[in-house]
Chains A and B, each alone.
Chain A
Amino acid sequence: MGIMKFTKVVLQNLFRKPATRMYPVSKRAYFANTRGHIAIEIESCIYCGICVKKCPTHAISIDKGTKCWSIERLKCIQCNSCVETCPKKCLTMENAYTPPVTGSVEDLKESFHA
């Protein structure tokens, strides 16, 4: 009895596709909801600062004088709070994750200017 099951599983495993993906040849598709990183449409931003206040990790900062909105990618926890509270709806949550870090942490502050 046991040997029958055993043989069946072995044969299945021989002819079945692997459970893993052959990355990077076949890449995993993101779901529509996946929280990857925050993107901004800087033209419609009014620099109100609500996203700065709502960010639980203080990853976002703005400079009203130079009209600059910046985010520290490593601090951001993709909680979606800023996206939900933005009055101009210029912040969006994109699916793709940010690429792995290679430089020093200070370089990772990404700034957007109008």
Chain B
Amino acid sequence: MSKRSIIPFGPQHPVLPEPIHLDLVLEDEKVVEAIPSIGFIHRGLEKLVEKKDFQEYVYVAERICGICSFMHGMGYCMAVEEVMKVKVPERGEFLRTLWAELSRMHSHLLWLGLLADAFGFESLFMQCWRIREKILDVFEMTTGGRIIFSVCKIGGVRRDIDSEGLKIIVKVLSDIQKDLEEIEPVFFEDYSVKHRLVGVGVLTKAEAHDLGAVGPMMRASGIAIDTRKLNYSAYGQLDFEPIIHQDGDSYSRCVIRFKEIYQSIDLIRQLIGKMPEGEIAVKVTGNPNGEYFARLEQPRGEVIYYVKGNGTKFLERMRVRTPTFANLPPLIKVLQGCELADVPILILTIDPCISCTER
């Protein structure tokens, strides 16, 4: 047996977008064990719920994450609405779903860019982020913010999109689709890209199930579970199937995310086609009393929002289980037995959002 050595990896590391610390136990160049530790950016947002009015807390919930910001606000609102028995108008639900799907596209494009950067393909990284810029412009046009929208509120949404705006979105979507079709062969067929991804970090179907992987990480291992199929918000009226891949390696995770962008484009087209007329929000009176678990599909996987109210304007407890937290055990599993040089790619393929995880 060769000598074991431990390499501390992170929390500050050139390849890591966010602070996670891993102790990598190596035998030569092979990782035999990885011991994670998180907690570098805990902000105490769950405690803050006792100090902030439940309606104002939407702004805090949105700031849990900078990438899936809209869906955090949406998850919190869904949980509180369920407690308060508020029925969001249909148009409000459609608009929420539209922004949620656009967020998924921008998150996946960001991830594809980071992946390209991780395997050293800088121009591909820039191409991905160039496409993503168009979505950010759509956000700014429709909500007024590029990253934090402040557009979701308890009882509905705060801004409407007029038919002119919807037409622009349709046009932008077809532009994006064209751009994506251009870079698709690079991700799917390029020799050097495949060399870095195919067969790296295989997570079998059984392992994904046992370790509780969520989102694209799980679907890449062949389990067809998508929380959107619970038909929350407007998803019940849309026609789609979860995208799955059988191999469970880094390449499958890349393919899944790429195909999910196409799926989101299709969903947004369906949403715009079926967009009902009417109110976008209802007036909310009273305070929440009761508890509820809301589940929704974020770009990274399933997020769980738990909310408990006690009849006052301050909630008693709020809890978020973010997808990255659920994906850490699978990450540790795929790191065992990999090469040291593949560690950055493997950490990236779970699409880590450590800020969400630590709240």
List A residues at the B interface (Cβ < 8 Å).
Answer: 19, 31, 33-35, 56, 77-80, 84, 93
Bound form: Cα–Cα A79–B63 in Å = 12
Smallest CB–CB gap between A76 and chain B, Å? 12
**Given known A-B contacts A56-B52, A56-B56, A56-B59, A79 and B143 have beta carbons under 8 A apart:** no
Q: Is B313 an interface residue (CB 8 A)?
A: no
Interface residues on B, range: 10 to 19
A105 to chain B, nearest CB (A): 20
User: Does residue B39 face the partner (Cβ distance < 8 Å to A)?
Assistant: no
CB-contact partner of A19 in B130, B142, B145, B158, under 8 A: B130
Pairs A-B, 8 closest by C-beta atoms: A35-B144, A56-B56, A33-B144, A79-B150, A31-B141, A19-B130, A56-B59, A31-B140
Q: Enumerate B114-139 residues with CB–CB distance to A below 8 Å.
A: 126, 130, 133, 137
Q: Is the CB of B158 within 8 A of A33?
A: no
The dominant DSSP class at the A interface is loop
Across the interface, name the chain A residue whose C-beta is closest to B133.
A19
Q: A80-B158, A84-B158 are in contact. Are A33 and B150 (CB under 8 A)?
A: no
The minimal Cβ–Cβ distance linking A23 to chain B, given in whole angstroms, is 14
Quick one: which of A31, A34, A77 contacts B59, CB cutoff 8 A? A77
Q: Which residues of B contact A34 (CB under 8 A)?
A: 140, 144
Q: Kindly state the separation between the CA atoms of A26 and B63 in the bound complex, as whole angstroms.
A: 32
Nearest A-chain residue to B145, judged by Cβ: A35
Q: Which residues of B contact A35 (CB under 8 A)?
A: 144-145, 150
A57 to B22, CA, bound (A): 36
Find chain A residues with CB under 8 A from B144 CB.
Answer: 31, 33-35, 78, 80, 93
Please report the C-alpha to C-alpha distance between residue A22 and residue B317 in the assembled complex, in whole angstroms: 49
List of B residues within 8 angstroms of A93 by Cβ: 144
Known pairs A34-B144, A56-B59. 7 more at Cβ < 8 A? A19-B130, A31-B140, A33-B140, A33-B144, A77-B150, A78-B144, A80-B158
Contacts of B52 in A (CB 8 A): 56
Are B145 and A78 in contact, CB atoms less than 8 angstroms apart? Answer: yes
B285, chain A: closest CB distance, angstroms: 15
Which residues on A sit within 8 Å (CB–CB) of B150?
35, 77-80
The answer for the CA separation of A54 and B150 in the assembled complex, in Å, is 14
User: Contacts A33-B159, A56-B52, A84-B158 known; A79 to B59 CB distance under 8 Å?
Assistant: yes
Residue of B nearest to A33 (CB): B144
B140: which A residues are within 8 A, CB to CB? Answer: 31, 33-34
A33 proximity list for chain B (CB < 8 A)? 140-144, 159
- With A and B bound together, what is the CA distance between A93 and B150 in angstroms? 14
15 contacts between A and B (CB under 8 A): A19-B130, A31-B137, A33-B140, A33-B141, A33-B142, A33-B143, A33-B144, A33-B159, A56-B53, A56-B56, A56-B59, A77-B148, A78-B150, A80-B144, A84-B158
In whole angstroms, what is the CA distance A80 to B151 when docked?
9
| CA–CA, A66 and B145, complex, Å | 34
> Could you say which residues of chain B place their CB within 8 Å of the CB of A78?
144-145, 150
Q: How far is the CA of A70 from the CA of B335 in the complex (A)?
A: 54
B-chain residues with CB within 8 Å of residue A56 when the two chains form the complex: 52-53, 56, 59-60
Quick one: which of B43-76 are within 8 Å of A by CB?
Answer: 52-53, 56, 59-60
Complex: A103 Cα to B69 Cα, angstroms: 31
Q: B313 to chain A: closest CB distance in Å?
A: 12
Q: Kindly state the separation between the CA atoms of A95 and B48 in the bound complex, as whole angstroms.
A: 30
Complex Cα spacing A3 to B143, Å? 43
- In the assembled complex, the CB of B65 is this many whole angstroms from the nearest CB of chain A, namely 16
Expressed in whole angstroms, the minimum distance between the Cβ of B353 and any Cβ of chain A is 21
Bound-state CA distance A93–B142 (Å) is 15
**B145: A residues at CB distance < 8 A:** 35, 78
In the complex, chain B residues whose CB is within 8 Å of the CB of A77: 59, 148, 150
**Once the chains are docked, how many angstroms separate the CA of A19 from the CA of B123?**
13
Most buried by B among A33, A34, A78: A33
Question: Which residues of chain A have C-beta atoms less than 8 A from B148's C-beta?
Answer: 77
A contact residues around B53 at 8 Å (CB): 56
